[in-house]
Amino acid sequence: MTKRKVSTDDLIAAILKAIDEIKGEDIQILDLREIENTVCDYFVICTGTSNTHVNAISGIVQKQVSKLTKEKPWHVEGEDTSEWVLLDYVNVVVHVFQRQTREYYDIESLWGDAKITTITSNN
């Protein structure tokens, strides 16, 4: 029996649902497919208000994505400090920042050629 491959759209939808559920802020999707030599197809970026909130967002994303798609991140970084947690789902990389860390690294500008979609929260 082979494992069904989850579509990127379904994976992103599960990620966005989880972030919105726990009130992640300033959610953006960066479409990197038209840029040469990128590490993935999409970044999903959001902001948490504290270490606890960043950890909660990271945790619920992992839980909801696993529940809805059966996918687990290939790699997770940053949970020890919770200033910037990275969840690598291979084609989609989720970045959960605290505000000051997001402003400092400004990855939206670093990937300025990406098509950026801002997500409006349902909350």
**Quick one: which of 123, 104, 84, 107 has its CA closest to 29?**
107
User: What is the arithmetic mean of pLDDT over 105-117?
Assistant: 94
Q: What pLDDT is stored for residue 70 in this prediction?
A: 92
Q: What pLDDT is stored for residue 5 in this prediction?
A: 72
State the DSSP string of 34-78. TSTT-SSSEEEEEEESSHHHHHHHHHHHHHHHHHHH----SEEE-
Measured CA angle at 113 (ends 109, 114), to 5 deg = 90
pTM listed for this prediction:
0.93
User: What is the arithmetic mean of pLDDT over 84-103?
Assistant: 97
Superfamily of domain 8-118: Beta Polymerase, domain 2 (3.30.460.10)
In tens, the pLDDT along 32-57 reads 999 988 989 999 999 999 999 999 99
pLDDT band at residue 1, thresholds of 50, 70 and 90?
A: very low
